[in-house]
Amino acid sequence: MIKRVLTLLIITALLMVPTAVWAADKTVVEFWFGEFEETYIAAMNDIIADFHKAYPHIQINMTKSGSPGTMTDPLLISIAGGVPPDLFYSDGHTIQQWYLSENMFVPLSDIVPPSALEGYNWIPSAERSFFNKGKWIGFPFRTAAYGLYQNQDILAKAGFPITSGPVTIQELDQWGEKLYVVGADGKVTVTGFYPWGNNFAGSDLGWLWVFGGDFYDWEKNTTRFAGVPEHLRTLQWMSSYALKYGFSPPTGNNNFMAGKVAMFVQSTTWLTGFQTSAPDLNFYVSAIPRTEARDHITYAPNLGIAIPQGAKDYEAAAQFILYLGKPEVQAKWYRQVRSIPTNMDAIRMIARDITDPRERNMINTMGNSFGPPPLLRRIQEEYRNCVTAMMKGEMSPVEVLETVDAILKPEYAEIFN
């Protein structure tokens, strides 16, 4: 424990080393930017340079600080030591969790007048990630969209169209069944589709939204898995695959690239990922199939910026956050790194830049986006354990929903109440 604390103190001390010495008449804002890709660093530096031209009295010192969600401990140490950064970048559910449970951030709503927060046209999931109990904790900046990836060679061999995709869950089931390939030994060599093992809100939580449900109560800040008919219907659908095909046929990126799975859910990030890792792979992406309960949805986890408690200048830090929320700024970010904006007006600005129909199909569903709640990783962990047991025939769908709530509701009550 002592070694871990010392390590955190060293990391924090290094992060607090100023990157430059600025004139005394400038307000210096220290910014911990939690991204490690060099293209992201370069794009943010360009945005900061533009900000300096518009606001010459404010100087943003950006420090590259690991990856999103990994810098919470150093931030805690810096706040306790009285030397926090002025701006902290991370995923929305982490920022929201630490604001609600530890009061680590100063809400943007407490710093700037309400009029300054108006006029931003956020995607639905972005507001959920950074707005809670009537206050904006920070502002969202970038996100991703998700869709149904399809191996076009497998689809063509089975006689399916290769540039449309199944529209409804019923069609997904029908396509998936016909795309299964079984070898002479009776073993599955190609999985058509399987609703477990997709990259869909972690642990395939996203299917609950597809079927019309929502597993988090944003007013009470707690889970609500049990007693929701749409959730029961979702798990009954998932368990039907286990009964028909057994537990956990191969899914995931590697099996998709190897031609062992025909369709699965993945994010916009892997449009370039697959092109780089498997240049000979022919694939298409359509919107995630819908049910009669809800139109096409997407999962859109948001990353953004908040102001830690004890920051030197709340107003200057808030000015930069408001700047990052502008549609023209987020559009510039997208054009440099192809990372999706959280501002709907920015998405409209980049419409002509989206030339890949696969990307367009995913981004077109952003108006019906869902984002992760606080303590997402705990939800994923317990839900994964219970659904795995269900897919193995060890739990019923009702037991899954009741068990997850029974475990998590007391934890949320302890943290948030």
Per-residue pLDDT tens for 115-171? Answer: 999 999 999 999 889 998 889 999 999 999 999 999 999 999 999 999 999 999 999
Please give the pLDDT value at position 71: 80
Q: Are residues 12 and 131 in the same domain?
A: yes
On the question of pLDDT at 25 being above 90, the answer is no
Per the structure, how many domains does the chain have?
Answer: 2
Residue 160 and residue 84 share a domain: no
Tell me the CA distances in angstroms from 66 to 12, 25, 38, 186, 288, one per residue in order.
Answer: 12, 31, 12, 47, 32
Whether residue 184 sits in one domain with residue 289: yes
87, 78, 83: which is closest to 106 by C-alpha? 87
Task: Please report the pLDDT score of residue 323 as a whole number.
Answer: 98
The CA distances from residue 352 to 123, 138, 335, in Å, are 19, 29, 11
Mean pLDDT value across the chain: 92
Per-residue confidence (pLDDT) for residue 330, from 0 to 100: 98
* β-pair partners for 33: 64
Residues 6 or more apart whose Cβ sits within 8 Å of residue 23: none
**pLDDT value at position 68?**
72
Residue 173 is part of a domain; what is its CATH number? Answer: 3.40.190.10
Share of the chain above pLDDT 90, in %: 82
Q: Residue 183 and residue 177: Cα distance in Å, rounded?
A: 15
Q: 283 has which bridge partners?
A: 151
Provide the sign of the torsion angle of the four alpha carbons 228, 232, 237, 241, taken in this order: positive
- Rounded distance, CA 380 to CA 358, Å? 28
- Rounded mean pLDDT, 275-302: 96
406 vs 411: CA distance, rounded Å? 9
- Quick one: average pLDDT of 345-352? 96
Measured CA distances, 227 to 50, 234, 241 (Å): 51, 13, 23
Are 312 and 200 part of one and the same domain? no
Same-domain pairing of 236 and 191: yes
| Domain around 225 | 146-299+373-416
Same domain, 328 and 339: yes
- pLDDT-based confidence at residue 24 (cuts at 50, 70, 90): low
Q: Taking 50 as the threshold, does the pLDDT of residue 18 lie above it?
A: no
Task: Work out the average pLDDT over 322-343.
Answer: 97
Q: DSSP for 5-28, please give it.
A: HHHHHHHHHHHTS-SS---TTSEE
Residues 164 and 47 in one domain: no
Q: What is the mean pLDDT of residues 403-410?
A: 98
pLDDT tier at 352 (50, 70, 90 boundaries)?
very high
> Same domain for 276 and 409?
yes
The sign of the CA dihedral 23, 24, 26, 28 is positive
Tell me the residue type at 250. P
pTM of the entire predicted model: 0.90
> For position 299, what pLDDT does the model report?
97
Contacts of 28 (CB under 8 A, 6+ apart): 18, 22, 59, 61, 312
Q: pLDDT at residue 17 above 70? A: no
Q: What is the Cα–Cα distance from 146 to 65, expressed in whole angstroms?
A: 27
Return d(Cα 266, Cα 144) in angstroms, integer. Answer: 10
For residue 10, what pLDDT is reported? 44
- Final residue in a domain of this structure, among 370, 387, 405: 370
The mean per-residue pLDDT over the stretch 303-310 comes to 97
- pLDDT tens for 377-393 read 999 999 999 999 999 99
Residues 88 and 172 in one domain: no
Residue found under tokens 């409209």? 348
pLDDT tens digits along 47-102: 999 999 999 999 999 998 777 767 888 899 999 999 999 999 999 999 998 998 88
Q: Is the pLDDT of residue 367 over 60?
A: yes
Question: How many CA atoms within 13 Å lie on the side-chain side of 232?
Answer: 8
Phi first, then psi, for residue 81 (nearest 5°) are -85, 0
Residues 295 and 305 in one domain: no
**Measured distance CA(350)–CA(363) in Å, rounded:** 11
Q: Between 261 and 36, where is the model more confident?
A: 261
136 plus 97 within the same structural domain? yes
- For residues 261 and 192, membership in a common domain is answered with yes
Residue 205 clears pLDDT 90, i.e. is over it: yes
